[in-house]
């Protein structure tokens, strides 16, 4: 990855534009991004369960069972472009920016092609030896007619969504309750439990707060104006001690190619 531009006020308040090299992007799409969207961990568990059942004498002739095993073995990604952008954002935030998403939210989806509820990004971030809740939004855009693109500035765009996450305490409470309910499924010494406990302390401590992030996924030439004006407008609303991070991620493949690459096209 290459940093194309960066502006820093503090470690928790900044914007960055990053471009991804061709081979690195291909590795992401075929690996971590695909794993996120298909929830490979749970898929493997489901396969093991069905294969074990298939070894049982009473189920060896079940056509339905073997059809489901075959479907899981041959699973291909079939998602909308914006969902690929959301998954890519999680991967980069986790690999490069100290974010942690312990729970794959696709497990909660009744419709795998639907929108996430509450916020696109719900997790934790560690900076300066402090763990905070991370709430964020992701948008994908190829627009070049205006900079920043409309997905940043329009009603329902990243600027509006981050302002809402900052002012809407009830929405944040629902997201925190969501994380709490998931963390309780893990052992007491699991990192998820630890991150949640530390983030709650930060959230309710004077002078700490939470972190907001907006991620813009692009398949066009890098340009600082994609996020710079939005950042300076947002920082007047999202005040310290809360954090504000805008990230523009520039991919080398057109968005129409992402799904094909994920499914093995050369």
Q: Is residue 47 part of a domain?
A: no
pLDDT, tens only, 23-33: 999 999 999 99
Question: Is residue 212 in a domain?
Answer: yes
Query: Do 97 and 108 form a contact (C-beta atoms < 8 A)?
Result: no
Structural domain total, the chain: 1
* The predicted structure's pLDDT at residue 185: 86
Report the predicted TM-score, pTM, of the whole model to 2 decimal places.
0.87
58 in a structural domain? no
Domain that holds residue 15: 2-38+79-262
60 found inside a domain:
no
Q: What is the rounded distance in angstroms from the CA atom of residue 17 to the CA atom of residue 248?
A: 5
Asked if the structure places residue 67 within a domain, the reply is no
Residue 246 sits in a domain of what CATH number?
3.40.91
The CA-atom distances, in angstroms, between 117 and each of 73, 82, 131 are 29, 14, 23
Supply the DSSP symbol for 115: P
Residue 197 lies in a domain: yes
Residue 64 pLDDT: 80
**C-alpha 227: how far from chain center:** 18
- pLDDT for residue 38: 87
Residue 119 located in a structural domain: yes
Residue-level pLDDT, tens digit, the chain, 266 residues: 999 999 999 999 999 999 999 999 999 999 999 999 987 676 676 667 777 776 766 666 677 876 777 766 666 767 899 999 999 999 999 999 999 999 888 777 655 555 666 799 999 999 988 999 999 999 999 999 999 999 999 999 999 999 999 999 999 999 999 999 999 888 999 999 999 999 999 999 988 999 999 999 999 999 999 999 999 999 999 999 999 999 999 999 999 999 999 988 65
Residue 78, token pair as written in the block:
């079939």
* 250 within some domain: yes
């Amino acid at each position: 990855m290459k940093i194309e531009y960066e502006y820093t006020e503090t470690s928790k308040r900044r914007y960055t534009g990053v471009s991804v090299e061709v081979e690195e992007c291909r590795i992401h799409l075929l690996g971590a991004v695909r794993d996120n969207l298909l929830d490979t961990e749970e898929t493997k568990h489901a396969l093991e369960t069905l294969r074990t059942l298939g070894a049982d004498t009473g189920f060896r002739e079940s056509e339905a069972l073997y059809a489901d095993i075959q479907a899981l073995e041959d699973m291909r990604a079939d998602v909308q472009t914006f969902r690929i952008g959301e998954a890519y954002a999680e991967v980069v935030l986790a690999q490069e920016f100290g974010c942690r998403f312990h729970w794959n939210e696709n497990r909660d989806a009744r419709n795998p092609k639907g929108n996430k509820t509450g916020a696109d990004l719900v997790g934790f971030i560690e900076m300066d030896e402090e763990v905070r809740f991370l709430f964020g939004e992701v948008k994908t855009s190829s627009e070049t007619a205006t900079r920043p693109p409309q997905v940043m500035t329009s009603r329902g765009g990243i600027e509006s969504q981050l302002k809402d996450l900052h002012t809407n305490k009830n929405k944040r409470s629902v997201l925190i309750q969501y994380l709490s309910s998931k963390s309780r499924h893990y052992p007491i010494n699991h990192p998820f439990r630890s991150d949640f406990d530390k983030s709650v302390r930060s959230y309710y401590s004077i002078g700490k707060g939470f972190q907001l992030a907006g991620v813009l996924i692009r398949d066009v030439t890098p340009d600082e104006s994609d996020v710079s004006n939005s950042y300076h407008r947002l920082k007047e609303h999202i005040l310290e001690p809360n954090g504000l991070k805008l990230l523009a991620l520039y991919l080398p493949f057109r968005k129409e190619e992402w799904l094909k690459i994920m499914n093995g096209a050369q």
